């Protein structure tokens, strides 16, 4: 079991900054190492398990960067026009068998292998052509221009993609350009998800007085799927010791991570704390953030030699659950899944209004980022920022982030924003 219990972060409750909480989570977690090989077309969004080393030079030959005429750059004259005679046409995929002689050129297409005797390509628009005669005026190009050299993009034996990379569309194209038909990827992180609360009902069920529909599980399920996680949906769980124990045992048998929202994160009921103390070494934290202050995190024992599962227990308010997921759980889950360099993308935009804020906590405001009249970016709040107002989260395309040490913001002042479309 990791030494979380030895850390002051695991003893009792203390106020943590968002940065402290994120650092503690990252330090505690060890990424999964199990991997599998998959056909290239099935690897989008997966984490690369080992470096992809190029078996070839890319490009494999010196080739033309554009359509034009290939010739020896040494023929270029500085004191007058260079006159060449075109002796043929060269297409991509059909290398020239001969050598381009002095005063000669070949009409060449983009991507065609540079012929022997030629090292320069003049584009069509920069020369005059009259039958076989091609004239290049002085100063329009230099020797060696418009030639892509062998290995210029990637040299044989060099890593093309590094282990830990979350594979994106261009990465699949790059792997295909190297002749790869499959890639070794880390297995998907398995995340067991459930919501707790006697007041919760499934969509479609009748609502008794005082009850609400469970929205958190669906929001969090979508967030997990965007991260490429394998979601194990364990549904709703009553605030009952036996029901909670049975659900946790089921989660520990199947998952690497247990993600909850609701009463577990607060630990208000003694039986919740007692249960989690029996299962592992969970710390109940008060994180200096708004929304989302209560948060629980720690390892849960799974028996035998199996590594622990990790509990991320989020607050129950719908917006607080999602914000806490993005601010605290997202980075930890990606780290545990073996992904590297997946920090949240941050954009700066000018606030359209003044925002009240006192230093001492990080605040996340639901907002819309849009183009400003001067060509820059501006950000405006979506309205009510209450932790239960999920509509304003749905209307937003970003979170406006006011840092821990930051104070009030004046209208027109630049602020940090996390774009929702970047949370992948």
377: Cβ contacts below 8 Å, ≥ 6 apart: 347, 348, 349, 350, 369, 370, 371
Query: Please, which pLDDT band fits residue 8 given cuts at 50, 70 and 90?
Result: very low
**pLDDT at 270 (0 to 100):** 56
pLDDT of residue 274: 82
CA 22, CA 143: separation in Å to the nearest integer?
54
What is the percent of the chain where pLDDT is above 90?
80
25-34, 139-148, 216-225, 339-348: range with lowest mean pLDDT: 339-348
Q: Please give the Cα distance from 367 to 358 (Å, whole number).
A: 19
Span of 66-80, 92-106, 257-271, 311-325 with lowest mean pLDDT: 257-271
Which CATH architecture is the domain 346-422 placed in? Beta Barrel (2.40)
Report residue 264's pLDDT band, with 50, 70 and 90 as the boundaries. low
In angstroms, the CA 115 to CA 161 distance is 31
- What pTM was estimated for this model as a whole? 0.85
- How does 29-65 read in b/e, with b if 16+ C-beta sit within 10 Å? beebeebeeeebeebebbbbbeebebeebbbeebbbe
The mean pLDDT value for 284-303 works out to: 91
Predicted local confidence at residue 10, as pLDDT:
52
List the domain boundaries for the chain: 3-34+187-336, 37-58+153-186, 63-148, 346-422
Confidence of residue 266 (pLDDT cuts 50, 70, 90): low
Say what the pLDDT of residue 423 is.
46
Task: Quote the pLDDT of residue 390.
Answer: 83
Q: What is the pLDDT of residue 14?
A: 60
Q: Which fold has domain 37-58+153-186?
A: Molybdopterin biosynthesis moea protein, domain 2 (3.90.105)
CATH number of 63-148: 2.170.190.11
Task: Give the pLDDT of residue 308.
Answer: 94
Spell out the CATH class of 3-34+187-336: alpha beta
Residues 371-411 have pLDDT tens digits of 999 999 999 999 777 777 888 889 999 999 999 999 999 99
């Amino acid at each position: 079991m990791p030494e979380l219990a030895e850390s002051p972060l695991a003893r009792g409750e203390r106020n943590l900054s968002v940065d402290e909480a994120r650092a503690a989570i990252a330090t505690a977690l060890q990424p999964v190492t199990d991997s599998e090989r998959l056909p290239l077309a099935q690897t989008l969004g997966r984490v690369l398990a080992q470096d992809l080393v190029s078996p070839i030079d890319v490009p494999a030959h010196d080739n033309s960067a554009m359509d034009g005429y290939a010739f020896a750059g040494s023929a270029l004259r500085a004191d007058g026009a260079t006159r060449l005679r075109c002796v043929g046409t060269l297409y991509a995929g059909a290398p020239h068998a001969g050598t381009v002689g002095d005063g000669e050129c070949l009409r060449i297409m983009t991507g065609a292998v540079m012929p022997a005797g030629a090292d320069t390509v003049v584009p069509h628009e920069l020369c005059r052509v009259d039958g076989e005669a091609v004239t290049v005026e002085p100063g329009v190009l230099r020797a060696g221009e418009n030639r892509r050299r062998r290995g210029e993009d990637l040299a044989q034996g060099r890593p093309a993609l590094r282990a830990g990379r979350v594979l994106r569309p261009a990465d699949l194209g790059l792997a295909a350009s190297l002749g790869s038909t499959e890639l070794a990827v880390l297995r998907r992180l398995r995340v067991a998800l459930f919501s707790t609360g006697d007041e919760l009902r499934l969509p479609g069920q009748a609502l008794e007085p005082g009850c609400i529909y469970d929205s958190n599980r669906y929001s969090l399920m979508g967030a997990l799927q965007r991260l490429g996680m394998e979601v194990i949906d364990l549904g709703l769980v009553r605030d009952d010791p036996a029901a909670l124990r049975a659900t946790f045992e089921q989660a520990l048998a199947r998952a690497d991570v247990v993600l909850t929202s609701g009463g577990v994160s607060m630990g208000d009921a003694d039986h919740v704390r007692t249960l989690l103390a029996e299962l592992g070494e969970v710390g109940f934290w008060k994180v200096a953030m708004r929304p989302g202050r209560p948060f629980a995190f720690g390892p849960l024992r799974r028996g035998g030699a199996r590594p622990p599962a990790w509990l991320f227990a989020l607050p129950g308010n719908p917006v607080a659950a999602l914000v806490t997921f993005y601010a605290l759980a997202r980075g930890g889950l990606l780290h545990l899944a073996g992904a590297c360099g997946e920090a949240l993308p941050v954009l700066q935009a000018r606030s359209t209004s003044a925002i009240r804020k006192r230093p001492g906590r990080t605040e996340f405001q639901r907002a819309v980022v849009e183009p400003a009249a001067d060509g820059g970016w501006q950000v405006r709040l979506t309205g009510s920022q209450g932790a239960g107002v999920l509509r304003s989260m749905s209307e937003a395309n970003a979170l406006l982030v006011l840092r821990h040490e930051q104070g009030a913001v004046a209208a027109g002042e630049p602020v940090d924003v996390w774009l929702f479309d970047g949370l992948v």
